[in-house]
Each structure stands twice: as C-alpha cells, then as structure tokens.
Amino acid sequence: MSELLTNAFSVVSLASVFVLIALGLHFTFGLLGLVNLAHGEFLLLGAYIAYAVQEASGSTVAGVVAAPFGAALIGLVVERALLRFFYERPLDSLLATFGLAVIIRQGVQLIYSAVPRQVRDPLRGSFDLFDVNIPRWRLLIVVVDVLLVAGIGALLSRTRFGLRARASVRNPELAETMGIDVGWVRAFVFAIGSGVAGAAGALMAPISTLDPEFGLLFLVNSFLVVILGGVGSLYGLVAGGVVLGCSLALLQFAIPTVLAQIVVLVIAVAGVRLRPFLVERAGLSPARP
Amino acid sequence: MSASPLLEVESIDVSYGRAPVLRGVALEVDANEVVCVIGRNGAGKTTLLRAVMGVLPVRRGRIRFDGRDVTGWKGHRLARAGLAWVPQGSSVFPGLTVADHLDIALQAGDGSRPRAEVVELFPVLGERLRQEAQTLSGGERKMLGIAQALMAAPKLMLLDEPTEGIAPAVVAEVRTALLRLAEVCSVALVEQNVDTALAVSTRAYVLERGTVVEQGPTRHLYDSGVIRTRLGL
C-alpha cells in the first residue's frame, strides 16, 4: 500500500513538472503563436537568476522569488526589441528564437562557465505521510503548479487584461481599432510567459543539475505538452502534461527510461491525431480560456 | 465647437504594396452628418475607410480628425480619439461571447455609454449575451459590430457595407439601426445598396478606380442619374 502511494506521488510529481515547464509556453506559443525555441532558455534564466541571488544574498528563497520577475523583465525587453517584428511570420520567428536561445545560452556560459552550479533546496529533505515519503520541494512544485494554473486561468478569463489579451490574439486588427494597444498587450503576454518560465526554471533548479544546457532538457517536452493538449488551451495543456507525465512515470517502472521516452513520444503523436475527435466528443471548445 | 469638418481627408494616396489603390482622394464629414461613399467593387471604398482607421498606411496626403492631424496614427489611438470602425464582413473575436465583445468596447474607448442602453437598441443581442459571437447570423454580427462601436460613444463611426450579404428582412433592421445611429454620432458609410444610402445619408462621394469622380447631396446625385450611371444600375 505504502509503495503504491509513494509511486502515485511520483506520478503526480512528474506530471506537475511537465505542466510546470510548459505553462510559460501557453502564453508565447499557445496565445501569441510564436514558435518560441528560446522557451527553455527562459527556464535557464530563471534558474540562474535564482542562483545569482542566492549567491549574492545567501537566501535561496529570495532567489526563487526574484526569478520570475527577472525573467519577465528580460522577456519584455526581448519582445520589444526583437520578437514584435516576427508575429504572423512563423518560419522567421523560428529562426529568431533559435538565435535568441543561442545568445542566452552562450551569454550564461560566458558569465558562469559550463561548470555545474547548485541551487540549494531551501526546504531540505522529506517527510512521511501515511507511510509515504514525500520530498518537500517536489510537493511545493505540485502546490505552485496548481496555484499557477488557477491564477493564469483567472487572469485570462476574469480580468480586463485577460479579455484584452484574448481579443488581441484572436483578431489583432479588430482589437487595435477598438482602442486596444495590441503591441503592448502582446509584449505583456510574452513577459508573463517568460516570467512563468523563469519561475519554472527556479523551481526545477534545486532538483536538477544547473548548467548552460539546463533549458534544452525541457524544450521538447514543453512543446509536446502544449501540442498534445491543444495550442491555446490552458486546460488542454494541463491534460497534456498529466497524460505525458503519468505515461512516463508509469512506463519507467516497467521499461528502461530511454525506451519509455520513445513510447511517450508515440503516445504524444497518437494523442495529437486523436485529440480533435476526443474534443468533439467531449463537446469542448479547443481554444479556452 | 470648431467650424472645421470633423473628418478631413486631404488628397491621400494609398497602395497595396506597389499597386496604387487610392489617388488624391479628398473627403469631408461634418459633425452630426451622415456621408456615404459609393462605388463599384474594387473602386477603393474599403481601402479608404481602412486608411482613415490607420489599418493601412497613407503614402501621401493628410487626415485630420476633430481638429488634429492624425495621419499615421495607429488604430488604438484613433479609437481613443473618438473614431469607431465597423469593418466589412462579419468580423468578430472567435471564442468570445457577445457580452465579452461589448465589454471590450466599453473598456477600450473613453466612452461611457452603458451596455443596457446599447442592448436596448439591439434587443436580439441582449438575448444572446452569453452566446459566442461567431455563432451569430450575419445580420446579428453586423448589429454586434455597430453595438460595439456605439459602446465607445464615438464622435464618428466608419461603417463598411453594413447591409452586405444579409437577408432582405434584416436589411430593414440594420437600416433602422443606422438611422438611430445617425442621431448620436456622425457616420461615414460605405454602401452599395442605393436604397440604404438614400435613406440614411445626406451627402455622397462616388469613387471610381481610386479617385473621387462625383460628390454632392445624395438625393441630387440619385435624381440626376449620376449614381445609376456610375454604378451601372
């Protein structure tokens, strides 16, 4: 029983990691339509901001809190200076964000070298609940995940900014002529996406090895989650994260990790093919919220 | 109040890429006036409204609105200055409800017209506030477009073919809405339906191959046969 519960927590934990790393992409790829190959590098920035603040102040918590704000600010500058010229130009945006990713990665390597760094786990260790050993930091990731999804859902569906953002994304020309400054709305949407990616990076850092390649580990899985869940759908993204996370976690019990990842990729491809039918049968709109 | 026209379009040139569409087009709309722009398909009527609304760049000439030179202004600045645009077709925000559409209009402009007042003008929208706008009929979408523009309490509304592609029974409803609209703001209307143009506008401009070839009181242009000749009716 205890082993079953421990494994169940592992599954939930991995699913929440999948959701977490893909959440920022919901804004930049899902809403803005930018094929953002630099998404992983915003996770990287978040992780290194957490590390830098930790080293400067001695507080890892301060670093983790600072990470989303730092990443959001960098995202805002990058959108205004570079990416705003690439909306509705998917191939060009692919190239631009690839270049941006290389610049960020090499920039981080220039400053911190390729030597692995350590963001300390401020909650240290685990506790037992019903004979289940629960690592505190992984539990925090699950809790933050739930709060972030609820917060983003509320932001997009219940606030003035959310309504403007959805309007700007779905019909930019009409939104602009209705008094919405679409350029700045897009910039803030990108900044929020970057900030969420930064938060994800900072949360993943204590349970990962931090080096300049850190972001690359998450890029493919992030896109898989968003594409499987349905581009532009927050709840779809959560479903995609849960399906992929659970699949990988369960498969890892039975087969080697590399083989499990291949099977997960096959599941993702099959899911993308089947999703329109499933969405139609469930009577869901593919673009909410 | 200034004696100058509310909208002054001064000899503007507009192109799509290298292809010129408008050449030296001039147009004026006074306060509390309804002006109609008439012309065959491809004459440049929609291009004219899109240029005024800042959607297309003006290559030469000037546009003045409410006493200010607004040439080159972006759409959101023009909207906040009191210009509203109801585009051709049935442009809506996919996935957003009728209520969302009206709220966007209310939030975006400096307008203060309450939703209830606008819904009173278009009762059918009041019945469908929770419905997604893309599921409305063509006529209802046109009404939603006009209602949205009204929410922002504009000084001038640019209306692009409001009766195009809708059932004859609905045309009468839209025409009634236009007459009510004319009571609260100035209107620049692009329209191919001559009956609608005659019913709602006092002056008209006839556009042909990107230039203004005739202008004057709408009734006079119609009675003298100019409109019929130019439109090939």
Chain B positions in Cβ-Cβ contact with residue A160 (cut-off 8 Å): 107
A-chain residues within 8 Å CB-CB of B91? Answer: 171, 173-174
Buried b (16+ CB within 10 A) or exposed e, B98-133: bbbbbbbbbbbbebebebeebbebbebbbebeeebb
Write the pLDDT tens digit of every residue in A29-61. Answer: 888 988 899 999 999 999 999 999 999 999 999
Determine the pLDDT at residue B108: 56
CB-based contact A228:A244 (threshold 8 Å): yes
Burial A232-249 (b: 16+ CB within 10 A, else e): bbbebbbbbbbbbbbbbb
B93, B98, B131, B146: best to mutate for the A interface, most A CBs within 10 A? B93
Cβ contact A178–B108 (<8 Å) = yes
* Amino acid letter, A37: L
B199 contact A CB<8A: no
Write out chain B residues lying below 8 Å of A287, CB-based: 94-95
- pLDDT for res A284: 56
Is residue B75 scored above 60 in pLDDT? yes
State the pLDDT at residue B110: 58
Residue A114 distance to chain B (closest CA, Å): 46
Q: Do B76 and A177 touch (CB under 8 A)?
A: yes
Q: How far is A47 from chain B (nearest CA, A)?
A: 36
Amino acid at B17: G
From A177-181, B26-30, B73-77, B191-195, the region with the lowest mean pLDDT: B191-195
Between A79-88, A223-232, B196-205, the lowest mean confidence (pLDDT) is in A223-232
C-alpha distance from B93 to closest chain A C-alpha (Å):
6
- Mean pLDDT within A98-109: 97
User: Cα separation of B85 and B36, whole Å?
Assistant: 14
Of B168 and A165, which is predicted with more confidence? A165
**Over residues B106-110, mean pLDDT:** 63
pLDDT at A250: 84
Res. A184 pLDDT band, cuts 50 70 90: very high
> pLDDT at residue B130 above 80?
yes
**Which pLDDT belongs to residue B149?**
85
Name the least confident of A73-77, B3-7, B93-97: B3-7
Owner of token pair 């509203």: B84
| CB spacing of B75 vs A288 below 8 angstroms | no
Q: What is the pLDDT of residue A286?
A: 47
Interface contact flag, B108 A164, Cβ < 8 Å = yes
Residues B104, A167: C-beta atoms closer than 8 Å: yes
Question: Stretch B58-63: mean pLDDT, rounded?
Answer: 96
Mean pLDDT calculated for residue range A133-155: 93
Whether A164 has its CB under 8 Å from any CB of chain B: the answer is yes
Per-residue pLDDT at B222 exceeds 60: yes
User: Distance between terminal CA atoms of chain A?
Assistant: 38
The answer to whether A163 contacts B103, with C-beta atoms less than 8 Å apart, is yes
Closest-CA residue of A relative to B75 is: A177
Task: Note whether B6 and B188 are within 8 A (CB).
Answer: no
How far does B117 lie from chain A, in Å, by closest CA? 19
Whether residue B15 is predicted with pLDDT greater than 90 in this model: the reply is: yes
Instruction: Tell me what pLDDT residue B109 has.
Output: 56
Average confidence (pLDDT) over A169-190: 93
The answer, yes or no, to whether residue A180 has pLDDT greater than 80, is: yes
Question: Distance between CA B53 and CA B76 in Å, rounded?
Answer: 9
Does residue A289 have a cis bond before it (omega within 30 degrees)?
yes
Average pLDDT over residues A139-159: 94
Classify B74 as helix, strand or coil.
coil
How many beta-carbon contacts under 8 Å exist across A and B?
76
pLDDT for residue A13: 84
Residues in B touching A171 (Cβ below 8 Å): 91-94
| Window 119-148 of B, Cβ < 8 Å to A | 132, 148
Tell which wins on pLDDT, A43 or A281.
Answer: A43
Chain A interface disruption, residue of B46, B52, B76, most A CBs within 10 A: B76
Q: What is the pLDDT of residue A100?
A: 97
Task: Give pLDDT tens digits for A71-84.
Answer: 999 999 999 999 99
Classify residue A28 by its DSSP letter. I
- What are the residue ranges of helices labelled H in chain B? 45-52, 75-81, 98-108, 115-121, 123-127, 138-151, 168-181, 194-200, 218-223, 226-231
- Average pLDDT score over chain A: 90
pLDDT given at position A248? 85
Q: Hey, what are B25's tokens?
A: 């087009």
**Average pLDDT in the B104-131 region?**
79
Q: Given an 8 Å threshold on Cβ–Cβ distance, is A179 in contact with B152?
A: yes
Least confident window among A110-114, A285-289, B34-38, B160-164: A285-289
> Lowest-pLDDT range, A35-39, A119-123, A219-223?
A219-223
The count of C-alpha atoms lying within 13 angstroms of the C-alpha of A4, restricted to the half-sphere facing its C-beta, is 1
Question: Nearest CA to CA, how far is B80 from chain A (Å)?
Answer: 6
The pLDDT of residue A159 is: 93
Q: What percent of chain A has pLDDT over 70?
A: 97
Q: Nearest Cβ partner of B93 from A174, A179, A182?
A: A174
Percent of chain B with pLDDT over 70: 95
Residue type, B62: R
Of residues B121 and A186, more confidently modeled: A186
Please tell me the predicted confidence (pLDDT) of residue B111: 57
